């Protein structure tokens, strides 16, 4: 697997303060993608032992909430085995930290992948420039979903991730509710 960057102390790609691994390889090639330089699976840098050590050293910091995988597409077929191994190790080392994964695939296309068991939140679906909305939380277009993986697997129905401290008041766009019962609409 190859990668383009490791972002430290990110607050835009998931709950809390996160470390983001930007992987290489994407076959979706969404029009007006914000990261087209990550499409080439041979681009970027080889994810070697030094990169892995850097990533895990950053993740070990107490104030870091977890790991976000983006790119490119972490679920690009050439990335899946390495991502699976990475997530398994991550959850063994940091069981209380979360994993967010951004992918152009839909939940329905990826829900049976073995690595899904190690993911807490998936932002699914291709970016659609015609559905772009800069007011959306954690996603770029309204067709994408921010899925609570554990709840979705437990119930068999797609459950949208909704932390207690977020809600948007749009009664026509309700996907779920937070633990406190506040409508979760984003």
pLDDT in tens, 65-121: 999 999 999 999 999 999 999 999 999 999 999 999 999 999 999 999 999 999 999
Residue 184: per-residue pLDDT: 56
> What's residue 36's pLDDT?
86
Whether the CB-CB separation of 109 and 121 falls below 8 Å is answered with no
DSSP alpha helix (H) spans, 23-145: 49-59, 80-93, 107-110
Structure confidence at residue 116 (pLDDT) = 97
pLDDT at 129: 92
Per-residue pLDDT band at 134 (split at 50, 70, 90): confident
Contacts of 100 (CB under 8 A, 6+ apart): 13, 14, 15, 18, 66, 67, 68, 69, 119, 120, 121, 122, 123
What is the C-alpha separation between 39 and 57, in angstroms, rounded? 27
| Lowest model confidence (mean pLDDT) among 23-27, 28-32, 39-43 | 28-32
pTM: 0.88
Percentage helix, strand, coil for the chain under 3-state DSSP, each rounded to 5: 25, 25, 50
- Cα separation, 109 vs 182, in Å, equals 30
The reported pLDDT for the residue numbered 104 is 96
Q: Which pLDDT score, from 0 to 100, does residue 162 have?
A: 79
Diameter over CA atoms, the chain: 48
pLDDT given for residue 166 in this prediction: 53
The confidence score (pLDDT) of residue 124 equals 96
């Amino acid at each position: 697997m190859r990668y383009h960057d490791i972002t430290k102390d990110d607050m835009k790609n998931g709950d809390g303060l996160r470390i983001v691994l930007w992987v290489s390889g994407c076959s979706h090639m969404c029009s007006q993608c914000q990261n087209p330089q990550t499409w080439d699976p041979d681009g970027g840098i080889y994810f070697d032992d030094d990169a892995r050590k850097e990533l895990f050293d950053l993740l070990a910091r107490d104030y870091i909430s977890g790991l976000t995988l983006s790119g490119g597409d972490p679920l690009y077929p050439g990335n899946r085995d390495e991502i699976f191994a990475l997530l398994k190790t991550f959850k063994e080392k940091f069981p209380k930290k979360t994993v967010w994964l951004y992918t152009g695939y839909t939940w329905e296309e990826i829900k049976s992948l073995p690595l899904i068991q190690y993911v807490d939140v998936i932002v699914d679906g291709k970016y659609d420039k015609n559905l772009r909305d800069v007011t959306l939380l954690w996603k770029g277009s309204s067709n994408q979903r921010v899925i609570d993986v554990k709840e979705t697997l437990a119930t068999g129905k797609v459950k949208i991730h909704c932390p207690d401290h977020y809600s948007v008041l749009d009664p026509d766009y309700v996907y779920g509710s937070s633990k406190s019962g506040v409508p979760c609409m984003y």
